[in-house]
Every structure is written in structure tokens, then in C-alpha cells.
Amino acid sequence: MISQKWGKLIRSLQQKKYRKVEQLFIVEGEKAVLEVLASNWQVTAVFATEPFLQRYVNDVKKADLIQQCSSDELVKVGTFASNDAALAVVKIPEQQLFSVGLASQQLPALWVLVLDQINDPGNLGTIIRIADWYGITDIVCSPDTADCFNPKVIAAAKGSFLRVNLHYQSLPELFKHSPLPVYGAYLGGESVHQLQLKQPGGFIVLGNEANGISAELSAYINRKITIPAFGNAESLNVGIAAAIICDNLLRLSNS
């Protein structure tokens, strides 16, 4: 069973201030826990149901960390409405400021997503997953963007958080000292369907869900780009917009 001490700690990690103090976060669900166990990330503890143990205990690394519990206990301490598999407590890795020299991307051109005040954890998790799909290994976030270790972000990212590096830092300072071009997503601008790239690679800036890219950052945008609308919707969800823009820019730079 999950002890009172562990239960209290796990519940506290649902809040950013305690994640910061403890330098820990939680991963929930069968696939995500299996991925983090197979990774090089430091896992502190795992709580798992008997069916999970029967299926995987002989196949996963760090099996000695796994403690058996019930599904009801996982639901009681975690954030999922149902969880019949596992929950892991994981060490938050050391985060670095992004620089072009630090990038680990293996694409022919260096593309980096930049998030300006993205507030919704679900949107952030979705964007992390999109970056992983397109082979983008680095996302730079403004300091007021949602915390990437929020349980809702981790759930939405579906394991992609293990392969995409997130950096929180001043975006104006980043752009001042980088040679990469800066593309900004706006409701008006050059169509991503007809864009001509002067050079492959660059920063792709996505703005706040309600207000778009901040005025402070607008001065650093080299090219304003947009997704053409064929209907009457007011706007697109930022995660959907990220996928469409990444698809177009990555296709152009690899053609």
C-alpha cells in the first residue's frame, strides 16, 4: 500500500511550489511510467497495481523501486480519474538556458519552438508531443508559461517530455543573441502554404491563447506567418496551430 508519507508527498507534487521545493514530479499511467522507467531519468519510487507487476516487473529497469498498491490508492493520491496501472515519482532534471550551441536537434535544419505565455497545461503538453513528432528537440518558454512538470502537462505530452528539452528564460534576451530568424504566428501574415524560406531553420514563436504574441516580442519577429482560414472560425487552438505550422515549415526545409 501507499504509506501516509508517500501519499502526502505525491499529492503535494500537484502544486508547483512543492515541485520546486522537492525537485520531484509525478508520472501517471501505464505507457508513460514504462517509458520513464526505460529512460535515463532518475526515478525515486514507483507504485503499481498487481496486473501491472504481473505484466512488466520482469521486463523493466529499476524494478526494485516498484511497490505494489491498489488502483483505488493510485486514484486517491494522483490526478487521474482512473488508473489501474502505475504512478512514478521522478526527479526533475537540471534545466539549462537555451543557446544554439546547446541544441541537440538532429534535423537538417535547426527549428526551435518558442512559447510566449502559454497558460494552459494541456496546450503545453500537446505542443511538447507535436515537437517530438516533428523531431524538434528544444522548446524555449517565457518564464510565465505553464510549468512543464505540471501533471496535466505530463499527461498530455504522453511520454514526449522525455525527448524534448524545455528551457525557461527571457525571450527578448534569447533573440538578441541568436543568429536564427524568428517566425511569429499571427492572424495576419505570410501564408504558411506559400512561404519561401530564405534559410532553413529558425525560431517558431507561438503566443498566448487569448492575446497572441506580446508587444514586447513583436519587435524581434523577422517574419509574420499565418495559417489561411477557409471558414469563419475566429481562431485556432494554439496546439493545432503549432502542428500545422511545424508541418509546413519542416516540409519546406526538407524539400
What is the pairing mode between strands 43-48 and 24-28? unpaired
Residue 106 confidence (pLDDT) above 80: no
Q: Residues 158-186, buried b or exposed e (16+ Cβ, 10 A)?
A: bbbbbbbbbbbbebeebbeebebebbbbb
pLDDT tens by residue, 189-219? 999 999 999 888 999 999 999 999 999 999 9
User: Torsion angle of alpha carbons 219, 215, 149, 237, nearest 10°?
Assistant: -110
Q: How confident is the model at residue 108 (pLDDT cuts 50, 70, 90)?
A: low
For residue 62, name the pLDDT band (cuts at 50, 70, 90).
confident
Tell me the one-letter amino acid at 70.
Answer: S
57 pLDDT more than 70: yes
Percent pLDDT > 70 in the chain is: 97
Q: Contact at 8 Å (CB) between 205 and 224? A: no
Q: How far is CA 177 from the centre of its chain?
A: 24
Tens of pLDDT, residue by residue over 117-160, are: 999 999 999 999 999 999 999 999 999 999 999 999 999 999 99
C-alpha cell at 249: 515549415
pLDDT, mean of residues 43-71: 91
DSSP SS3 for 16: helix
Q: What is the pLDDT of residue 200?
A: 84
